[in-house]
Amino acid sequence: MQWWIWLLIGIAALIIVGVVPMLIITVPIANSVFKDQFMRPDVPSAGWTRYRCSFPDNEENMDMHNQGMAWGEREKEYMSEVTIHNDGFKLAGQYFDFGFDQAVLFLAGRAEPCTYSYYFAMPYKDYGYNVLVVDNRGNGLSDGTFQAAGLLESDDAKEWLRFLQNEKGIKKVVIHGICLGSATGLRAITSPGCPDIIKGFIADGMYTTFYETFRTHTKERGKPTFPFCQLVAAKFKKLTGHSIITNGPIKDIRKYTGPLLMLHGKQDVFSLPPKAEKLYALSASEHKKLEWFDEGMHSHLKIVAPEKYDRVVGEFLKEL
C-alpha cells in the first residue's frame, strides 16, 4: 500500500478519535440548551405563560411587567380575546379596539407572551391606533412546543395581518417588533403573500441573524460557542427547514422599502451596535431613521428612557 494511503488512513483515524468523543459529549448538552432556551417548559409554572414575568429576578423586567399589566387592567373594556389558525396551530392574541381604522401589531421576543407587549403598547391609543398583541407559537395560550427564531412565526404574523384586514376592517398596520420580534416582522413583510397594509415598521434591538446574536449571547455568558452554536443551528434546521445562519434581517432588510424606525442601545451586548449600523446602511428604505439610546440593556431601552422612547415612536408615526 502506498504511503499516501496510509497517511489518509492515519488522518481519518485521528479525526474519528477526536470528533466522535467530542460529539458524544456535546450533542446531549446542545440538545439540553435548545430545550431550555427554545422549547415550552414541561411544567407551565416554569415560564412562557401568559401572565407571568419571564425574568422576575430582573428589577427592570418586573417594572416593565407591572406597568404593562396595569395598562391592561385600565384598558380591559376595549380588549377581546382573538384566535387564528395557521400551520395546524391555534394561535391566540388580544385585540384592543379603540375605534380606529389603523392598528399596531406587536411581535415580542423569545419566550414572551402577548402581555409582555402591554408595556410598549401604552401610548398607542393616544397615537390613534388599535392594538393587537399575540402569543407566538409555543408561548402563552398558543399551540406549539418550540420557538422557531421567527423562521416560522413570520408566517403566523402574516396571518395576523390578514385577520386585521379581513376580520377587523383595518386599513393600515404598523408592526412594532422587539428583539426577535423585529426579525419576525421584517421576514413577514418582505415575503410573498404579505397583505399590502403595512404603513411602517419599528424595530427595537434588531439583529443581523439569530445565529450571530445567539453566538454573542453564548460568549457573553462565558460559555464556549463551538460546537454548541453549530449544533443548535443544526437543530433549528432540522425542525424548521430553514437556516438561522443564512436567514435573518441581514438578508431581509434589503427588500423592505417602506418607512423604518430602528431603536438601538449603545450598551446592547447581544445585538451589537455595529451590526445595527450595518443593517441601517443596507436598508432600501428611503424613509428611515436609526435612533440611538445611550443607556439600556437589550430590550430595555424604554424602561430607562420612557419619555424619549415614546416621543421618537410618536414622531415616526406622525410622519407616516
* Domain boundary assignment for the chain: 24-318
Helix H, strand E, coil C: the string for the chain is CCHHHHHHHHHHHHHHHHHHHHHHHHHHHHHHHHHHHHECCCCHHHCCCCCCCCCCCCHHHHHHHHHHHHHHHHCHHHEEEEEEEECCEEEEEEEECCCCCEEEEEECCCCCCHHHHHHHHCCHHHHCCEEEEECCCCCCCCCCCECCCCCCHHHHHHHHHHHHHHCCCCCEEEEEEECHHHHHHHHHHCCCCCCCCEEEEEEECCCCCHHHHHHHHHHHCCCCCCCHHHHHHHHHHHHHCCCCCCCCHHHHCCCCCCCEEEEEECCCCCCCHHHHHHHHHHCCCCCEEEEEECCCCCCCHHHHCHHHHHHHHHHHHHCC
Per-residue pLDDT reduced to its tens digit, 66-84: 999 999 999 999 999 999 9
Taking the chain (320 residues) in consecutive chunks of 10 residues, what is each chunk's mean pLDDT?
48 47 65 84 72 91 97 98 97 98 96 95 98 95 93 97 98 97 98 97 97 89 82 90 95 97 96 96 96 96 98 97
Whole-model pTM? 0.92
Of the candidate CATH numbers 3.20.20.70, 3.30.565.10, 3.40.50.2300, 3.40.50.1820, the domain formed by 24-318 belongs to 3.40.50.1820
93-143 pLDDT, tens digit per residue, is 999 999 999 999 999 998 899 999 999 999 999 999 999 999 999 999 999
